[in-house]
């Protein structure tokens, strides 16, 4: 659809950017923090692990000042569960509580609204040792953790996100949930863990509304519209299947409190229905209502029909091309350019995804991740000043903001935009050298150098975008 003129971004649009605790903070075992699952596992091959990361724990004042210089109206960060509750439940680490209290105050000093992710891939190792999300007690522990955050920070934090990318944790269960996906009965086990997370989310949303009537809370999955490879009806069915499994399962549950019928039938067909849905669970799901939908968007996915003869499996990362025999088969899409790390780039797909999500759920949307990972290079200009030229990142973000602007003109209600990431940080499995930030952090994979902060070209560009409320993208 073409528009003669575009509707403006809302006046109070939340421009900002995102990080997550284990990827940015460092101080992994300092000041009373307990280990999370990320601290106890072997670092991904060729990477250095999360001990120091971008050292934001020790440098948050400098980082927040730089965000303020860019004009941020929000900063999305996550709270490390094991920093507040080192054993996952019980004993409170007051030093950890103080750290986030200071970070929140620092943001508010510059009128930057904290947008807090309650859980981002870093379950306390102590809970993992007791069965992690397979253990229903983890739902209660999450509620205890939620209550603690609402009590200590609810006077200052207005925006909360429940669980980051639950759908990616479930689809990549071997990587983040530590489940052997080739073992018999694995699918059932995975979707039982998934049910516990959905329940934990519903209970946390309800508690938030009871304790903090002014606050707003929503889910934060990774949503990517799934395209059919061709116009063959069988490919369209496959796209509907994978859309349901990858996207709608999570949003249907968060918004309507119902299990998506396509996913339910698929689970039933392989004897993998979760057996841990107890009396009362579905009523809790139905009663919990989000105030908005947050989602992370990097690209779309494309699938073809599977006749059931292919071998189940997938390729590498979150852009994994899953093969689910008899259900859908991921395929590359020839229309897209790719990042240095092989991720497809589909800005128009961003508009498509926004339109689809809004038409299905009619809730305001905030984008909590979007961005491009690259090997940025620190250089010196003629005067000897540090510079980082990242035109590829500017191009990526510009194209996505243009499409978001079109989506607003299509009638999609947008609340904010937080690309990944505010500061360079450690990628989930490709180390520090895969950088996403507006702010460069001077370290290499294994050599920590001086960790000094440098404004990239995208920093100066984003500052103009925010100052013009999305009108000036030059």
Nearer residue to ligand BG6 within complex by CB, 19 or 260: 19
First vs last C-alpha separation in the chain: 24
Residues 402-421, one symbol each (x = binds ligand BG6 by CB under 6 A, - = not), give ------------------x-
Nearest to 225 by CA among 302, 138, 148, 339: 302
For 324, residues 6+ apart whose C-beta sits below 8 A from its C-beta are: 241, 242, 245, 306, 312
The dihedral built from the CA positions of residue 269, 274, 279 and 281, taken in this order, carries a sign that is: negative
Shorter beta-carbon distance to ligand BG6: residue 317 or 356:
317
DSSP 412-465: --EEEE--B-SB----SSS-TTSB--SEEE---SS--TT--EEE-HHHHHHHHH
Instruction: Tell me which of 146, 164, 170, 241 binds ligand BG6, using CB under 6 A.
Output: 164
Select from 296, 300, 302, 319 the one that contacts ligand BG6 (CB under 6 A).
296
Q: Which of 165, 192, 229, 344 is catalytic?
A: 165
Candidate list 106, 229, 344, 369, residue with the active-site label = 369
- 373: contact with ligand BG6 by CB under 6 A: yes
Instruction: Report if residue 168 touches ligand BG6, rule: CB under 6 A.
Output: yes
- Reply yes or no on whether 268 is catalytic: no
Per CB under 6 A, the segment of 79-87, 210-218, 426-434, 448-456 that binds ligand BG6 is 426-434
Alpha carbons 242 and 301: distance in angstroms, whole number: 9
Q: Are 405 and 350 in contact (CB under 8 A)?
A: no
Question: Does residue 222 belong to the site contacting ligand BG6 (CB under 6 A)?
Answer: yes
DSSP, collapsed to helix, strand or coil, labels residue 313 as strand
Tell which positions 431-460 bind ligand BG6, by CB under 6 A: 434
Q: Which stretch binds ligand BG6 (CB under 6 A): 57-65, 161-169, 350-358, 382-390?
A: 161-169
Q: What is the largest CA-CA distance in the chain?
A: 69
346 and 300 Cβ atoms separated by less than 8 Å: yes
- 430 has catalytic annotation: no
Segment near ligand BG6 (CB under 6 A); pick from 3-11, 28-36, 162-170, 253-261: 162-170
Q: Per CB under 6 A, which region of 83-91, 104-112, 379-387, 428-436 contacts ligand BG6? A: 428-436
369 interacts with ligand BG6 by CB under 6 A: yes
- Report which of 112, 218, 108, 206 is spatially closest to residue 161, judged by C-alpha positions: 218
Q: Tell whether residue 165 is a contact of ligand BG6 (CB under 6 A).
A: yes
CA dihedral 121, 126, 132, 133 (to 10 degrees): -70
Residue closest to ligand BG6 (Cβ)? 427
Report whether 163 contacts 197 (CB < 8 A): yes
Which segment (164-172, 204-212, 274-282, 397-405) binds ligand BG6 by CB under 6 A?
A: 164-172
Beta strands across the sheet bearing 159-164: 216-220, 159-164, 113-119, 74-78, 14-18, 414-417, 365-369, 293-296
Q: Is 162 in the site for ligand BG6 (CB under 6 A)?
A: no
Q: Name which of 138 and 166 has its Cβ closer to ligand BG6.
A: 166
Residues lying near ligand BG6 in the complex (CB under 6 A) are found at 20, 23, 164-165, 168, 222, 296, 317-318, 369, 373, 420, 427-430, 434
Residues with catalytic function: 165, 369
């Amino acid at each position: 659809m073409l528009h003669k003129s575009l509707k403006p971004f809302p006046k109070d649009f939340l421009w900002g950017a995102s990080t997550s605790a284990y990827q940015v903070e460092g101080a992994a075992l300092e000041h009373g923090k307990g280990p999370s699952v990320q601290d106890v596992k072997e670092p991904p091959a060729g990477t250095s692990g999360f001990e120091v990361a971008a050292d934001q724990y020790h440098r948050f004042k400098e980082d927040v000042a730089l965000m303020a210089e860019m004009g941020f109206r929000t900063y999305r960060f996550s709270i490390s569960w094991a920093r507040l509750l080192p054993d996952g439940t019980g004993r409170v680490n007051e030093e950890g509580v103080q750290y986030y209290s200071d970070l929140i105050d620092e943001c508010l000093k510059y009128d930057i609204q904290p947008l807090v992710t309650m859980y981002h891939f870093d379950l306390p190792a102590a809970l993992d040792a007791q069965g992690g999300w397979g253990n229903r007690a983890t739902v209660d522990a999450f509620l205890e953790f939620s209550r603690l955050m609402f009590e200590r920070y609810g006077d200052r934090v207005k925006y909360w996100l429940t669980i980051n990318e639950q759908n990616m944790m479930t689809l990549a269960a071997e990587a983040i949930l530590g489940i052997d996906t080739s073992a018999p009965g694995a699918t059932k086990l995975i979707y039982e863990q998934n049910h516990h997370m959905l329940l934990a989310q519903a209970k946390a949303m309800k508690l938030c509304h009871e304790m903090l009537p002014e606050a707003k809370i929503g889910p934060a999955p990774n949503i990517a519209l799934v395209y059919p490879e061709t116009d063959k009806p069988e490919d369209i069915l496959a796209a509907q299947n994978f859309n349901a499994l990858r996207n709608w399962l999570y949003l249907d549950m968060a918004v309507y409190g119902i299990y998506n019928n396509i996913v339910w039938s698929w689970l039933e067909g392989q004897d993998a229905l979760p057996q841990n849905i107890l009396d009362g669970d579905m009523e809790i799901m139905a009663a919990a209502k989000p105030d908005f939908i947050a989602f992370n968007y990097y690209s779309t996915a494309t699938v073809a029909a599977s006749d059931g003869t292919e071998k189940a499996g997938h390729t590498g990362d979150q852009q994994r091309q899953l093969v689910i025999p008899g259900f859908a088969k991921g395929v590359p899409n020839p229309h897209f350019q790719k990042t240095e790390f092989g991720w497809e780039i589909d800005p128009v797909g961003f508009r498509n995804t926004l339109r689809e999500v809004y038409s299905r759920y009619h809730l305001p949307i905030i984008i909590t991740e979007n961005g491009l990972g690259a090997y940025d290079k620190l250089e010196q200009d003629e005067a000897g000043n540090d510079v980082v030229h990242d035109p590829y990142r500017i191009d990526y973000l510009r194209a996505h903001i243009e499409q978001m602007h079109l989506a607003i003109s299509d009638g999609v209600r947008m609340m904010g935009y937080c690309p990944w990431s505010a500061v360079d940080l450690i990628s989930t499995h490709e180390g520090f050298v895969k950088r996403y930030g507006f702010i460069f952090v001077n370290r290499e994979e294994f050599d920590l150098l001086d960790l000094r902060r440098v404004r990239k070209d995208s920093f100066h560009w984003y500052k103009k975008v925010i100052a013009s409320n999305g009108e000036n993208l030059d």
